Chain A
């Protein structure tokens, strides 16, 4: 173990469990001391080295921390930001507290729902408001097409058949649906038996006769995953399909925590015996046979016997591991891709959709991305979210924020002149340039699952165990993070 100038949580890595137990015994024989030793609450005292140092106070780190503490292990959670939740981020200064990450809790998000229930976080249905102007309209090539007219539109590139009636935002998934489904178990996608299916959507669908124009519309305009049909794995999309089926559970409505989904990680953090340590941006992880050290940007050193790294791959790639990680894990950290989102939250002074008669929600091929009303459609203050993905989000990410936000607003008013002067920018969120995120959520490129990037973090590397949404086997998003934290905690219980 390297020497360091400042020791934080642990005085020395030589303080083993045996000495800890001895210290406890001594304390037992002196009741006052015993009380001091065992009723210790946060913040962590310098004399108590953690069994596990958790990097990241997102859902995965918090879930692992709670499970480990419940079994009696000492846990220290380090967080780079000054808040918990990671990419679960509620905009609490905006009416309705919309979520700018981790927005939707599906009925099958069992672990997340369980923690919400355990800590008394109330939930409410996240129902889309009914729009008397109809469902989400489509705006492509400068024309606005009501959903009902899409099947008959000359701009619809799909031939007569079942796909022509499907709106462009759903046609990709519809095209990938097979009967029976390719994957019949939520864990199958990583099995070697399916490795040869880890090809691009473009290769898969071009072989079925799809044209570049069809691929562009279905997979490169406001894509939920990847930027185009070329950089998206068909195997990953089948995994998502099976995952969505499971997570839809019995079809109950999706929900959101009252006050924003960040209430759940906040409640989880509050339940930890030891306070989360904030503003601890870890830049180095050093390990040897005796223990692990995490070094922060400011030179603080935290020690423990084991380390749980829950950082997204996009953030872990900024951490120097010493000794270096094996090639597979480091390559996965360096190359796993993340979906791009750029979000602008507007306050709507006057519901302009009542003036232009178009649905408030609209799917566009412009810098406005997808327009989605949040909150009341008629009466009261309404919010409009411009949710931009893919190449369009990449472009906005490269621009100065004010210019990017102005570009989004201009796109909206070009499509809908009635919106001019009615929109006030409240907030924008760009996960790409967030140093603690580096992207919104994981999306494996074609060949990355086959190369083992998805399963690279199943097993510990020395004293380092991995978790985080990108390591989840069954679920994705928030529930994937919870699942990975649970899996990591069970691994650590066996290792310690």
Chain B
């Protein structure tokens, strides 16, 4: 039985069926939350800006200073925010409340667990 399972696993790993099986799984919370961000942002250092700025080396940076070739809103530039887990959590919960006058077209991610997952994902991707 175990052998059969192993054999099956080997076949699955090597075949396009693994893709078929994978489809029954929705993406993990971090990557799934990112689906809402990626039309505007790129995450990895060196990628291009979109309507929103590239987020490479986000953690530890001062808000509105990260990309010299991006026009941040005056409100964000003047916010004095330094991006870390805590400031990102507040920002992602409600950007407009955190920085009135921001141009980020996002109403906020209400679920704290989803925010945590997204921030953890960002920390990894934007290194």
Contacts and interface: CB of A to CB of B under 8 A. Distances in A.
A108 interface: yes
B68 interface: no
Contact of A37 (B20, B27, B108): B20
A113 B50 contact: yes
Contacts of B17: 24-25, 27-28, 34, 37-38
A361 B38 CA distance: 39
Given A186-B96, A486-B36, A493-B32, A246 B103 contact: yes
B23 interface: yes
A72 B16 contact: no
B26 A473 contact: no
B35 A38 contact: no
Which has the most chain A C-beta neighbours within 10 Å: B8, B23, B50?
B23
B32 A110 contact: no
Which has the most chain A C-beta neighbours within 10 Å: B19, B51, B97?
B51
A71 B23 contact: yes
Contacts of A250: 71, 103
Interface in B1-59: 8, 11-12, 15-17, 19-27, 32, 35-36, 38-40, 50-52
A33 to B, nearest CB: 10
Contacts of B108: 185, 187
A185 B24 CA distance: 36
B94 interface: yes
B60 interface: no
Interface in B91-106: 94-97, 100, 103-106
Contacts of B36: 486, 490
A110 B17 CA distance: 34
A433 B104 CA distance: 37
B112 interface: no
Interface residues of B, number: 36
B50 A72 contact: no
Contacts of B22: 72
Contact of B21 (A24, A180, A493): A24
A67 interface: yes
B20 A24 contact: yes
A28 B7 CA distance: 12
B107 A108 contact: no
B107 A186 contact: yes
A51 B83 CA distance: 40
Nearest to A39: B16
Interface in A231-254: 245-247, 249-250
A123 to B, nearest CB: 13
A184 interface: yes
B24 A110 contact: no
B35 to A, nearest CB: 6
A111 B36 CA distance: 10
Interface in A49-78: 67, 71-74
Given A113-B50, A188-B96, A250-B103, 11 more contacts: A20-B20, A21-B20, A28-B12, A38-B17, A71-B27, A72-B25, A108-B51, A114-B50, A186-B107, A187-B107, A493-B27
14 contacts: A20-B20, A25-B8, A34-B17, A38-B19, A108-B103, A114-B50, A185-B95, A186-B106, A246-B103, A473-B107, A474-B107, A475-B105, A493-B32, A494-B26
Interface of A: 17, 20-21, 24-25, 27-29, 31, 34-35, 37-39, 67, 71-74, 107-111, 113-114, 117, 180, 184-188, 245-247, 249-250, 473-475, 482, 486, 489-490, 493-494, 496
